[in-house]
Amino acid sequence: MRKNIFFLFMFPFFLSAQSLTDSLKLYYPFTGSAQDVSGYGHNPVSVNATLATDRYGNPNQAYSFNGVNQDIEYSTSAELRPTTFPVSMSIWFNSSIIPTGLNYYELFGTEFNPVSGDYSGYWMNVQGNTGYFALTYGDNTGACSAPYRRTISSTVGVCDGQWHLLTGVIYGATNMQLYLDCQPVQGTYSGTGALFTGYSNVPTAKIGHKNCGTNTSTYYMNGLLDEARFYNRALTQQDVIALYNYPNPPSGLSVNLGNDTTLCGTNSYTLNASTPGVPLSYSWSTGATTPSINITNSGTYWVSVDFGSCQANTDTINVVMNVNTPVNSTLSLGPDVALCQFTGNYNLNAATPGAVSYLWNTGATTPTITVQNPGTYWVETVFGNCTYDRDSIVITQMSPTPGNLGLNLGQDTTVCTGPYLLDATVSGAQGFLWSTGSSAPVISVNTSGTYWVEVAGPNCIIDRDTITVNILSNGITLVPDTLICKKGTITLNAPPGYNSYLWNTGSTATSLTTSSPGTFALTVTASNGCSYTDSIYVSYVPYGIPSPNFTWTPLSVQGNVYINQFNSISSGVNMSYFWDFGNGVTSTMQNPIITLNCGVSYPVMLVVYNECGEDTTYQNVLLNPCVTGLEENMDKVMRFKVYPQPADKTLTLAYYLSNPSESTVSIYNVLGEEIKKWEILSEQGQNQKEIAVEELTRGIYYLKLTTNQGQANIPVILE
């Protein structure tokens, strides 16, 4: 037993992240009212706006503004008047009207002077004519003009009647950032206001309106607003993504780093954030941007996976890496061994009470292994509390020495039939090698020949013996198990060339005819006295070969072809079918539906068969000249196709129109009766529409498409 000790050392490392409530100084969720839920009590003084439906379709969960005289006013305090940057603002907005002239929509502001109209506090607005949006702060040192404010304006606008999240972050006078939804947008700076914002000390702020100077009727919001927030810190893009997905994160797109884990005896571990879907980017707490990372220290790790369209998910895992401590256990692979003619059949057993895992130098992780070559083998076992033990063994090969182990395969022999067993079992045997390549102590042979075996015993003594086996015959074989049909018989013939025959019925003839089911056995005796036996099982069914017949019925006509229903009226039991319609078309259905040309005679063949045999019938099917049914008008309805054919649940229509049209799709049966109708809107150009037909019964139908540019008809088959 050899003990080997190894030491591994790990060091802890921890990371953390901010939440959406960190440094939150004002928060209006607008859930039925305009109350501040930040904890600072910035509740509104008056509310003239009206409650509206929010971006999730919830009524009375947002506010609507008419662009004329509606706003939300609230009081400010020290929390909304920071004297140093950074600060951040965000609000959801929805508008489809761009203000004209020099007017703009005020979205969200923290302060203004209603008397002088001096710029003060912070605000975000949508600009006139362009629909671009802007983030501004004022210094309260003058009226409404550029020297008294600092602004960043976007170079893109949005005015599409959809909900969007606008976020602004002010790091400094020349370092400001706008986000639309969750993506940063480019902007240009204007104004030359002071570095730090100034305040008017008039505790008035507004959402949806800001007047400048004496013109109090301008700058009203025209649209919807929701979820206004003000932070006394800089929001990161990950924060903005979290705001965009609050309170309903994206479903179906998730990342899972697994459960918190404790590892023993390792100095590396792989964290894998690969996810379903099509992730755009990965961001780890370590700064890595790959789908997986390899860590070498204990700690808390997180990853954020960006799925695009402002959809992201984050997961965190705590990993503890412990050093394995060596212990003395009962682990033992036994003493080193020397084996004779080593052939890879030696088992090594490391099973030890209390062990939770095993690692062999072969890479195996099981308690036992079977080794295949001489050499040194070691195993490491891990116990609870990250303790381990280790042992090794050396296996060598000895040179063989001829000797007597008492091996005896017996005298050369002749037997009537095989297989014949050869037994090389001897006391103390450690290995076997037969001329057949087998390493088992006992083998069976089925052919005549000379066979030898070598047996390895203690101290690498090798004993060898040889035997010749003559196998006279492989026996006899009757026909396979068979069947008697109604009123039938079967004759069983014995193989020729034997001295005597005996059936289990008592007959000694060379053949046996029977009309009854049962097991029939035959024993034959050769001239050398060897006897051989085989048996057959005969079963019975109370029916015979089926009798074929069929009829056919034209279901409908389309152009120059008939749609025909063929029906088997054959008599018999357990029948199968094969049709040949004389035009290269075949079928194995009982009652197939086949399209044949009008005015043509077809030699139709039907074969019916079962276990007892088959029979065939023919009929000449002559189709009359076709008579056209529904008219087709394809002048302006181009490239009209219907698929799949046949169909069972849905049909897809594909067609081309030169102009848009209100259209109808109708289904008719073969009698011309309309049984279902759909109203659809067709576009100019290529159209593709899907209709459900699973409630219709199996058969032939006509599909009619009607537009203001004409109509088209196509037969369809439903199965």
Number of CB atoms found within 10 A of residue 439's CB: 13
More confident residue, 275 or 241: 241
Q: What distance in Å separates the CA atoms of residue 464 and residue 438, rounded to the nearest whole number? A: 15
Question: Residue 453: pLDDT band by 50, 70, 90 thresholds?
Answer: very high
- The segment with the largest mean pLDDT, out of 195-199, 325-329, 611-615, is 611-615
Q: Please answer whether residues 44 and 74 qualify as being in contact, where contact means their C-beta atoms are separated by less than 8 angstroms.
A: yes
- Of 578, 648, 586, 642, nearest to 610 by C-alpha is 578
Residue 605 confidence (pLDDT) above 90: yes
CA triplet 332, 338, 344: central angle to 5 degrees? 85
* Residues 6 or more apart in contact with residue 313 via CB below 8 angstroms: 249, 250, 253, 254, 255, 275, 304, 305, 307
Q: What is the pTM of this model?
A: 0.42
Q: What distance in Å separates the CA atoms of residue 55 and residue 212, rounded to the nearest whole number? A: 31
Q: What distance in Å separates the CA atoms of residue 497 and residue 492, rounded to the nearest whole number? A: 16
Q: Burial of 546 by CB count in 10 Å (0-12 exposed, 13-18 middle, 19+ buried)?
A: buried
* Pairing outcome for strands 222-231 and 24-28: antiparallel
Question: Residue 629: pLDDT band by 50, 70, 90 thresholds?
Answer: very low
Q: What distance in Å separates the CA atoms of residue 272 and residue 252, rounded to the nearest whole number? A: 18
Size of the chain, expressed as the number of residues it contains: 719
**pLDDT for the residue numbered 450:** 97
Phi–psi pair at 375, nearest 5 degrees: 155, -175
Q: What distance in Å separates the CA atoms of residue 570 and residue 49, rounded to the nearest whole number? A: 82
Q: What distance in Å separates the CA atoms of residue 123 and residue 112, rounded to the nearest whole number? A: 9
Residue 123 confidence (pLDDT) above 60: yes
**pLDDT, average across residues 142-156:** 85
Q: What distance in Å separates the CA atoms of residue 108 and residue 100, rounded to the nearest whole number? A: 19
Residue 59 confidence (pLDDT) above 90: yes
**pLDDT, average across residues 36-55:** 88
More confident residue, 148 or 251: 148
Q: What distance in Å separates the CA atoms of residue 706 and residue 719, rounded to the nearest whole number? A: 25
Cis peptide before 660 (omega within 30 of 0): no
**pLDDT for the residue numbered 5:** 28
Residue 636 confidence (pLDDT) above 50: no
Q: Which helix (H) or strand (E) holds 360?
A: strand 357-360
**pLDDT for the residue numbered 22:** 93
Q: Please answer whether residues 506 and 562 qualify as being in contact, where contact means their C-beta atoms are separated by less than 8 angstroms.
A: no
**pLDDT for the residue numbered 1:** 34
DSSP 647: B
**pLDDT for the residue numbered 92:** 96
Q: Decide: helix, strand or coil at residue 304.
A: strand
More confident residue, 277 or 232: 232
Q: What distance in Å separates the CA atoms of residue 121 and residue 201, rounded to the nearest whole number? A: 10
Q: Please answer whether residues 98 and 236 qualify as being in contact, where contact means their C-beta atoms are separated by less than 8 angstroms.
A: no
DSSP E strand stretches across 581-660: 586-587, 593-597, 601-610, 613-622, 638-643, 650-657
Q: Please answer whether residues 277 and 307 qualify as being in contact, where contact means their C-beta atoms are separated by less than 8 angstroms.
A: yes
Tens-digit pLDDT profile for residues 275-324: 766 667 889 999 999 999 999 888 999 998 877 667 777 889 999 887 77
CA 230 to chain centre: 42
Tens-digit pLDDT profile for residues 668-692: 886 678 889 999 999 988 889 999 9
Residue 639 confidence (pLDDT) above 80: no
Residue 10 confidence (pLDDT) above 50: no
**pLDDT for the residue numbered 701:** 81
Residue 520 confidence (pLDDT) above 90: yes
**pLDDT, average across residues 62-84:** 88
More confident residue, 179 or 557: 179
- Of 45, 87, 74, nearest to 175 by C-alpha is 87
Q: Please answer whether residues 216 and 175 qualify as being in contact, where contact means their C-beta atoms are separated by less than 8 angstroms.
A: no
Sign of CA dihedral 247, 251, 253, 259: positive
**pLDDT for the residue numbered 559:** 67
**pLDDT for the residue numbered 105:** 83
Tens-digit pLDDT profile for residues 329-365: 899 999 998 877 655 578 999 999 988 889 999 999 9
Question: Residue 4: pLDDT band by 50, 70, 90 thresholds?
Answer: very low
Q: Mean of the per-residue pLDDT values for the chain?
A: 85
**pLDDT for the residue numbered 397:** 84
Beta bridge partners of 454: 433, 464
**pLDDT for the residue numbered 216:** 55
Q: What distance in Å separates the CA atoms of residue 9 and residue 492, rounded to the nearest whole number? A: 83
**pLDDT for the residue numbered 75:** 84
**pLDDT for the residue numbered 149:** 87
**pLDDT for the residue numbered 313:** 78
C-alpha torsion angle, residues 364, 369, 373, 376 (rounded to 10) = 70
Amino acid (1-letter code) at residue 451: Y
**pLDDT for the residue numbered 212:** 64
DSSP characters for 174-230? Answer: TEEEEEETTEEE-EEEE----SS--------EEESB--BTTBTT--B-EEEEEEEEE
Tens-digit pLDDT profile for residues 151-205: 999 998 888 899 999 999 999 888 999 999 888 999 999 998 777 677 777 767 8
**pLDDT for the residue numbered 399:** 81
**pLDDT, average across residues 198-219:** 72
Q: Please answer whether residues 541 and 485 qualify as being in contact, where contact means their C-beta atoms are separated by less than 8 angstroms.
A: yes
**pLDDT, average across residues 99-120:** 78
Phi–psi pair at 174, nearest 5 degrees: -115, 20
Terminus-to-terminus CA distance in the chain, angstroms? 76
**pLDDT for the residue numbered 550:** 95
